[in-house]
Structure 1
């Protein structure tokens, strides 16, 4: 019971504080990113029929396609409104996963594999052969599954605070999932957003239970993840829910763990951000976007530099 109440307090306070700071900056104009975010307008919005689902999506800007995949219980506004304008010169595609936001739930279990198939269908609908895929938290799991199940559609992969196995989370974090219910979200931005986007408030408890079910069932894609062909940039916080060893194991399997001055740079990259929590990762985009842009725009030469 104590864990449950603590989780609820943390979720409400952290999201409330972060969104309050964002809204304050919007009013005062003290944050360039927030003021820009207010003026961001999608060039295309709509619904696409994929796998029995009517998936809501938005498209921003022009350039090489970049898909942003949100975390559990999140929506496009909650997860990405402040980040979308920061990706300059790109066609940014955002969608809301099954049961989230404006994408209504259907009589189908929520799974990482199913959500990846939905994203694959969206790209086909938009006639995009290959895209860079960026996923946060739950969206990171979806991103991993995109690279595993639909590798031909993934040019490069970015995973923020995401895992490729259930035990990649710190043990106490994984143990806390079974205590998550609708009660801990009471009064939070997540509950308010669910209601404001036309969902029936009576179904919110069912929504919470169904989403967390994907992390109550053990999963392990270690073998498949270590064979991913797309270059990967994985970032976690030093106070994240993801274990350092989990990220390091994959980085090493994909060519990391060597001195680049001797062996050359690996095609994949790893970042551990200081003073950064799991939820706080969303508000490190001013740090992350330059690193992501450099990763996406680099030619990924692996030879050691010469002097």
Structure 2
């Protein structure tokens, strides 16, 4: 089994490294944001989670989505090739960075997919720049700080660099030329985005773009949090009688927060179907 997993990973790494891509840096809001672009078709933007970068977060995803989409993958403030600047970490600021990148790439509207921290950024792109968002996909993300299970929310304040010592996160941080002595300060700054309370419930429920929210049944996101948004977007009624809502909710079995990036075979088909469907709300029986 382990040999098979390693073989698959090596194959994906080969596909990722050989995929046709454009890459560069975009000067947005004082930030020199690194990005990569793969494939052709309707544009989709992938927004990574905390401490991640393009390769760590999207290795399994890019080769598949790039077969049918133009995949735009930035590295957010202080992550990967994108160096940090003298600006606090905030979902709002990073959403404005993504908006600026799309304008520079002359992309009028795109589908936005965000994972974890990237999910929060994706919500804010749709809130602050609705004209740039066609459809929104949130993987294991929240729109309010209390959307996490209480023990998860409490853990953000206790995490520190020691927990990541010797991990791929530290290795990747140093591989991009960052000062190893600054690693603890970087970890603290990244965590700061979730230590501060936030609640965008009203704004997110008013998003016009269709939303697909996906969480794991053993995720850090509370079921009720996802259900609250789904109900606000038209869920909670029998589709055979009233038609399907344009937004969707999926709870994946046997899937943790980190496992969301392992079980891509669960959710990539859901994402592809959501992006290509006409989302006709007519009841199937009619």
Tell me if both proteins adopt one fold, taking TM over 0.5 as the criterion: yes
SS class of match (2:157): helix
Partner of 1:163: 142
String of CA shifts for 1:86-130, please: whole Å, max 9, x gaps: 112100000110000110000000100000000000000000000
Deviation of 1:40 (Å): 4.1
Q: Is 1:72 aligned with 2:50? A: yes
Give the TM-score normalised by structure 1: 0.89
1:89 is aligned, of 63, 68, 78, to 68
* Distance in 2 separating the partners of 1:68 and 1:47: 16
Which piece of structure 1 moves more, 86-95 or 157-166?
86-95
Deviation of 1:306 (Å): 2.9
1:131 is aligned, of 96, 100, 110, to 110
SS class of match (2:36): strand
Partner of 2:123: 144
Partner of 1:10: none
* Distance in 2 separating the partners of 1:40 and 1:255: 42
Relative to 1, partners in 2 of residues 1:130 and 1:176: Cα closer, same or farther, differing over 3 Å?
same
Which piece of structure 1 moves more, 128-137 or 184-193?
184-193
Partner of 2:160: 181
1:282 is aligned, of 256, 261, 265, to 261
Asked if 1 retains the 8 angstrom alpha-carbon contact of 2:16 and 2:63, the reply is no
1:46 is aligned, of 8, 12, 24, to 24
Asked if 1 retains the 8 angstrom alpha-carbon contact of 2:139 and 2:260, the reply is yes
SS class of match (1:100): coil
Asked if 1 retains the 8 angstrom alpha-carbon contact of 2:16 and 2:62, the reply is no
Partner of 2:211: 232
Map 1:205-284 onto structure 2 (within 5 A).
Answer: 205-284=184-263
Partner of 1:5: none
Deviation of 1:131 (Å): 0.1
Q: Is 1:63 aligned with 2:41? A: yes
Asked if 2 retains the 8 angstrom alpha-carbon contact of 1:161 and 1:281, the reply is yes
Relative to 1, partners in 2 of residues 1:83 and 1:21: Cα closer, same or farther, differing over 3 Å?
farther
Q: Give unpaired runs (5+ residues) of structure 2.
A: none
Partner of 1:25: 8
Asked if 2 retains the 8 angstrom alpha-carbon contact of 1:177 and 1:212, the reply is yes
Partner of 1:11: none
Deviation of 1:42 (Å): 4.3
* Distance in 1 separating the partners of 2:9 and 2:95: 34
Asked if 1 retains the 8 angstrom alpha-carbon contact of 2:123 and 2:204, the reply is yes
String of CA shifts for 1:139-185, please: whole Å, max 9, x gaps: 00000000000000000000000000000000000001111111100
Q: Is 1:297 aligned with 2:276? A: yes
Give the TM-score normalised by structure 2: 0.96
How many positions carry a matched residue from both structures? 284
* Distance in 2 separating the partners of 1:38 and 1:158: 22
* Distance in 1 separating the partners of 2:8 and 2:132: 37
